[in-house]
């Protein structure tokens, strides 16, 4: 349900629905899906905010990888550097910049 809220632009409901999940595994999956949904509609701040809520490190890293890939196809080459600081770390930043370069070339 949280993912649907994110896809329809209802950030508040998406985040509160994900936060209400008590099972840690489902919590992480919900935030991972919400993060990707926000990235798909170019809401980079909400995407990274959601990904940071993921408790399991490997799941969080996968979420940031997905965010980097999704956002890279949506920004102009000149705007690419603006988004790199929002991403989790060097691997995601590199993946994002390579994605921007590939989409624009």
Residue range 75-86, pLDDT digits in tens: 666 666 666 666
Contact 22, 49 (CB under 8 A): no
Per the prediction, the chain carries an average pLDDT of 83
User: What's the whole-number mean pLDDT along residues 49-63?
Assistant: 93
* Cβ-proximal residues to 11 (8 Å cutoff; 6+ apart), any chain: 5, 38, 43, 46
- What does the domain layout of the chain look like in residue ranges? 2-104
pLDDT tens profile 18-49: 999 999 889 999 999 999 999 888 888 899 89
- Per-residue model confidence (pLDDT) at position 53: 95
């Amino acid at each position: 349900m949280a993912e649907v809220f994110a896809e329809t632009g209802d950030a508040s409901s998406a985040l509160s629905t994900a936060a209400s999940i008590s099972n840690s595994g489902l919590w992480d999956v919900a935030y991972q899906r919400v993060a990707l949904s926000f990235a798909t509609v170019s809401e980079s701040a909400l995407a990274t905010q959601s990904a940071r809520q993921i408790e399991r490190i490997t799941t969080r890293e996968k979420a940031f990888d997905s965010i980097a890939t999704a956002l890279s196809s949506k920004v102009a080459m000149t705007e690419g550097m603006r988004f790199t600081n929002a991403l989790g770390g060097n691997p995601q930043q590199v993946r994002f910049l390579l994605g921007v370069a590939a989409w624009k070339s």
